[in-house]
Amino acid sequence: MNTLGDQNSQQRNNQGMLNRIDLLRTFLVAYETQNFREAAIRLSISPQVVTRAVKELEGHLGELLFHRSTRSVQPSDFCERFVPHARQALQGVDALFAAAMLAKDEPVQGLVRIAAPTMQGRRFVMPLLERLALQHPGLCFDLRLSDQVIDAVAQRIDVGVRAGRLGDSRFVARTVSVFSLRIVAAPSLLKRIGPVESVASLNALPTAQLINRNTGRPWPWRLNREREILPALPAFVSDDAQAVCDAVLAGMGIAQLAGVLVADHLRGGAMQEVLPETAPKPWPLSVYRVQRQPVPARIRLVYEALLEGLREVES
């Protein structure tokens, strides 16, 4: 565990590295001009700052860099040997930043790791990624679909979609839509068993239930007013939401499923909503990114594409 002292020491080391780069720049200008006043004018600082910088660098190196008198400044033998190394070091630093600036003008490319719930991932995220792949052939996607809450940092996720509360305040997140839950049944089943008149009557009716893969037990059905139930007579169980949806379409049982999975079936008449007045308040559907700043172009591109593509999606 890092202590406060360790953190302060690291900060001092980081600051020292920045200072040493400045010291090298000041030293090289002083060497080129061999006049501290002229060096100060070029650097827009005072001659005293140039003098202090040279003295500090000499202290770090343990060698004299300039022979100084009231009339002249002359490089020492050590200074002449040190100058090529100082120039090479600064050129390396400048090259790093120059490469980064050039990369901004290059095509967006590289790997982006994405996490999403299974249904939203297949139905909405995949088509968005397919379009991005056509527009930016250099992009590579690693898509992880799971209905469980994952550790985005441990799994090195760059961008994610989540239904429900986003617990980690370190992430940059925006709510784009909602995730609803609906109790549904096939018209053929309702014709056979009659109308469903109350929540209590579900205990005597055939149901299709989705298994929580973490616990191995069925997910409880969420209702309004923070209520939960688990009907007593499952006729079909599965750990795959699409399989449960197929069972409902086949008339095998009543189920509570995500709105994104059943919306088209409800519109087309293949399903009917049961007890709609008991539906719970929809959960938020959010898009998040793990990295705050700076954000690489490839990650920002995918993040903004998901924000736009999932906005107002019926979930």
Tell me the average pLDDT across 228-250: 95
Supply φ then ψ for residue 216, to 5 degrees. Answer: 80, 5
- The CA angle 223-224-227, to the nearest 5 degrees, is 55
Query: Regarding predicted confidence, which is higher, 71 or 203?
Result: 203
- The pLDDT > 70 percentage for the chain reads 88
From CA 95, how far away is CA 169, in angstroms rounded?
36
- pLDDT recorded at residue 199: 96
Average pLDDT, integer, range 243-249: 97
Separation CA 199–CA 224 (nearest Å): 11
Q: How many helices and strands, by DSSP H and E, does the chain display?
A: 10, 14
pLDDT at residue 183 greater than cutoff 70: yes
- The confidence band for 105, taking pLDDT boundaries of 50, 70 and 90, is low
The Cα–Cα gap between 217 and 237 comes to: 10
Question: Among 160, 132, 164, which Cα is nearest to 144's?
Answer: 160
pLDDT per residue over 114-170, tens digit each?
Answer: 999 888 898 899 999 999 999 999 999 999 998 777 788 888 999 999 887 776 667
DSSP string, 29-43: HHHHHS-HHHHHHHH
Of residues 271 and 162, which shows the higher confidence score?
A: 271
CB 262 within 8 A of CB 235: no
Nearest C-alpha neighbor of 207 from the set 222, 194, 189, 180: 189
Residue 8: what pLDDT?
A: 46
**Distance in Å from the first CA to the final CA of the chain:** 43
Residue 71 pLDDT > 50: yes
Cβ atoms 40, 46 nearer than 8 A = yes
Split at pLDDT 50, 70, 90, the class of 203 is very high
User: Residue 247: which pLDDT band, with cuts at 50, 70 and 90?
Assistant: very high
203, 246, 307 from 235: Cα distances, Å: 12, 13, 39
Peptide bond into 294 cis (omega under 30): yes
Q: What HEC string does 93-133 produce?
A: HHHHHHHHHHHCCCCCCEEEEEEECHHHHHHHHHHHHHHHH
| Element housing 26 (H / E) | helix 4-33
**Residue 304: C-alpha distances to residues 55, 105, 138, 308 (Å):** 50, 19, 18, 6
Q: So what's the pLDDT on residue 1? A: 42
State which H helix or E strand residue 236 sits in: strand 234-238
- Name the helix (H) or strand (E) containing 73: strand 73-75
User: How far apart (Å, rounded) are the C-alpha atoms in residues 310 and 315?
Assistant: 10
Over residues 189-199, mean pLDDT: 95
Q: How far is CA 211 from CA 13, 203, 264, in A?
A: 53, 18, 23
Winning range, highest mean pLDDT, from 84-93, 269-278, 292-301: 269-278
In the prediction, which pLDDT does 81 show? 94
- Angle (deg, nearest 10), helices 4-33 and 77-103: 110
Task: Label residue 12 by pLDDT band (50, 70, 90).
Answer: very low
pLDDT band with cut points at 50, 70 and 90 for residue 100: low
Relative to beta strand 283-289, strand 159-163 is: antiparallel
